[in-house]
Structure 1
């Protein structure tokens, strides 16, 4: 069954959209459009004005949507974590990021891009990215007002960098620059993996922009070496983006860095066959990222996604509605049978409990015939048994007529005040005393045992166990004293 995939690339000054119809064996370009975002200070939502124009030209009904927002809105950090499980990574990521951020981490929507997944290492290198939750909610709400609910919201340029890294031939190490009129997002690629993401402003004229970009490229390659303990000398710089229409950076940048600089057209670079494609009317620099957003879904690429919380449940429900209805009916039948079984069990259990209660009452009457008022036979029987025990034994004396208070007094006198010890349990039986406690060292435990053993009140003292606490600072011990 064919799927309609809509890629929407939202920039600071433009909105680009590409609609693909993807089948099992074919990819068809259905529509595309580029709309400038009005520079109107009086308008409350200029993005909405641009999107209104897009939906007039492109039928978005029934589409699966993937969107991107300006990359400069996000912050990026390279982090190394000591495990590989994605659930664990997302749990600890806020704590890893917090010390490196100048603002509260709670205000960010966070996701990560895994760099390495090698089994030879016990850690994971990743790029963590975060954007203000309020910004994400603004994009989601604005798109939702046009009945567009994207499954993924990522950063501009990232999808195209992924496509180029994974599905095109190129050198081992290279840079991809997504250029806008006043800003560049740079991606460092090695061995078909994105290792670094940097976003920075540039001047609006070609010469100054090339110089600024060159300096940032040099800083990025130096950062790569520091982070990964490996030299990064790019063999090629690939450029695209709306800014390349006005800024002719190719020659200036190549002469400055002495590295080949090439403009990239995603369609040709990937060698993907797309029906209804007309190269003459398709504006590569401004549409390539929207195209990459849609193609990434076709290729099944995992990517940064800042939209995992808002519409994930609704999208899942709409996609799997029929299956969920069938599952719900089956679950309802199972629940009904379980409830019926519970009702029968409850009835027979009550019947059994009543029978046992009658038996308990009969036993109590037989054992204690002098009791005429019976309220709670089980509790009354316990009280009677305790009374019998108290009449036979004296809790304050042992069988050798050594009082508990004397045992405590003797131990207190024998143990010097300088010994650091906390007693946690004392059990006095007919023949011995078992003492549990916590002290500072094994020697202290031996000293306590020796001191108690010297008493004429006790026959013998033995340390039955000593264990070191996990903190490593205290010793738990158990001492048995024969009376």
Structure 2
């Protein structure tokens, strides 16, 4: 399995490619390049990602875009933490949790302190990323033809690297604008500093970490060369050491991108941003009544136009085309003398087998309701119509996220539909928005 750790900061892109087998993991490629514009970044990614087909891509968003809160729980189970975290955080942040994606890092629970009742507590770092930032990041990568399976903060890569390296006392790992505070074998905190200059917020970030954890940093390990950061730390009386961690005998051009490739579990692709693998060659499956009805409508339209077509080309040519459509729809059926009549017969058989929608509404009515519900000004291409019981599942492409919202709003007004849910939206190829939608009917089959 090939894993790509992709790190994008202002003016810099880095990646590490790790090959994972049953026995070992090996660093196969690594680079760190600069760029000046988004267009230049897109071209760099297109060129460098040619060998990433089938790879698991872990892409980072700069850490300073994330808000964080440290919470202590009397348990360390990830699932329990995930359920409890929103309730612990919502009253301590100045924005609605609906506007962000929430995930967490358990900071070495074995080293946690004890609560008022004497039970051991686990420190958990709750992380929040605005949906607008995540959407913009995914759109940028989509323009380069990339759709990462995982999105994480950049300092999570530094966290993974710090776990690979032994330290004595309290040390600060630094790479670009990310820092990781580690005491012995225990990671204490993760932060990013920002400012007009690289060192603008480093002093404040360091003081905040030392105050929160009541420990003084004795040594700084600089993983990415930066004379400004080195001078700032030296001025604070901290010993600075340049380090270049090795992995499988090789050194990565950017250690944080390597750490991203090695990171596990944390992922901000959730909810509406959840990663869904593109369907590689649509699987053949039974078509429901709605698909058969669509074909009947197409044949009926052809039949209505016979009078006009006879004048132009003759009935014989049209009849052959209708038979070809029938054969493609029912490849196992015998040759049709009257394809339109036989198609109608098969639809009637399907109705008897699958039944009709309540109140006399047929599956064709459902299809018509979907078609009528799409606003005229919106261009949409449907790839999947799947009717199962009282639920209709759709997969389609639209021109923008706004168009998806308009489609949902109009379909919600249809008399046949009880509830319309957009399950997933993401950027596809050619800057089109792919989405999945589930519609609950008021009465099912």
Using structure 2 for the length normalisation, give the TM-score.
0.55
Structure 1 partner of 2:276: 314
1:174 aligns with 2:190: no
Structure 2 partner of 1:340: none
SS of 1:6 mapped into structure 2: strand
| Distance in 1 of aligned mates of 2:275 and 2:59 | 18
The match for 2:191 among 198, 208, 229 is: 198
1:273 aligns with 2:244: no
Question: For residues 395-448 of structure 1, what are the alpha-carbon distances to aligned partners after superposition, in whole Å with 9 as ceiling and x for unaligned?
Answer: xxxxxxxxxxxxxxxxxxxxxxxxxxxxxxxxxxxxxxxxxxxxxxxxxxxxxx
The match for 1:302 among 258, 264, 274 is: 264
| Distance in 1 of aligned mates of 2:149 and 2:242 | 30
Structure 1 partner of 2:43: 52
Question: For residues 91-117 of structure 1, what are the alpha-carbon distances to aligned partners after superposition, in whole Å with 9 as ceiling and x for unaligned?
Answer: 232222222222222101111111243
Offset of 1:90 from its aligned partner? 1.8
Q: 1:213 to 1:312 in 2, by over 3 A?
A: closer
The match for 1:68 among 60, 63, 71 is: 60
| Distance in 2 of aligned mates of 1:147 and 1:202 | 31
Structure 2 partner of 1:237: 220
The match for 2:147 among 146, 149, 169 is: 149
1:163 aligns with 2:166: no
SS of 1:55 mapped into structure 2: helix
Q: Which has the higher contact order (CA 8 A, sep 6+)?
A: 2
Question: For residues 253-299 of structure 1, what are the alpha-carbon distances to aligned partners after superposition, in whole Å with 9 as ceiling and x for unaligned?
Answer: 22x332211122122xxxx324xx5x6xx6x4xx22112222x1xxx
The count of aligned residue pairs is 276
Q: Is the CA contact (8 Å cut-off) linking 1:67 and 1:152 kept in structure 2?
A: yes
Structure possessing the higher radius of gyration over alpha carbons: 1
| Distance in 2 of aligned mates of 1:196 and 1:65 | 25
SS of 1:314 mapped into structure 2: coil
Map 1:45-444; keep pairs closer than 5 Å.
46=38, 49-58=40-49, 59-118=51-110, 121-164=119-162, 166-179=163-176, 184-202=177-195, 204=197, 209=199, 213-225=202-214, 232-241=215-224, 244-245=225-226, 247-254=227-234, 256-267=235-246, 272-274=247-249, 284=253, 287-294=254-261, 296=262, 301-309=263-271, 314-315=276-277
CA RMSD of aligned residues (A): 3.2
Question: For residues 139-183 of structure 1, what are the alpha-carbon distances to aligned partners after superposition, in whole Å with 9 as ceiling and x for unaligned?
Answer: 22332444433222111132123222x22121142112232xxxx
Offset of 1:20 from its aligned partner? 2.8
Q: 1:65 to 1:221 in 2, by over 3 A?
A: same
| Distance in 1 of aligned mates of 2:265 and 2:217 | 24
SS of 2:193 mapped into structure 1: strand
Offset of 1:252 from its aligned partner? 4.7
| Distance in 2 of aligned mates of 1:22 and 1:89 | 29
Question: For residues 343-389 of structure 1, what are the alpha-carbon distances to aligned partners after superposition, in whole Å with 9 as ceiling and x for unaligned?
Answer: xxxxxxxxxxxxxxxxxxxxxxxxxxxxxxxxxxxxxxxxxxxxxxx
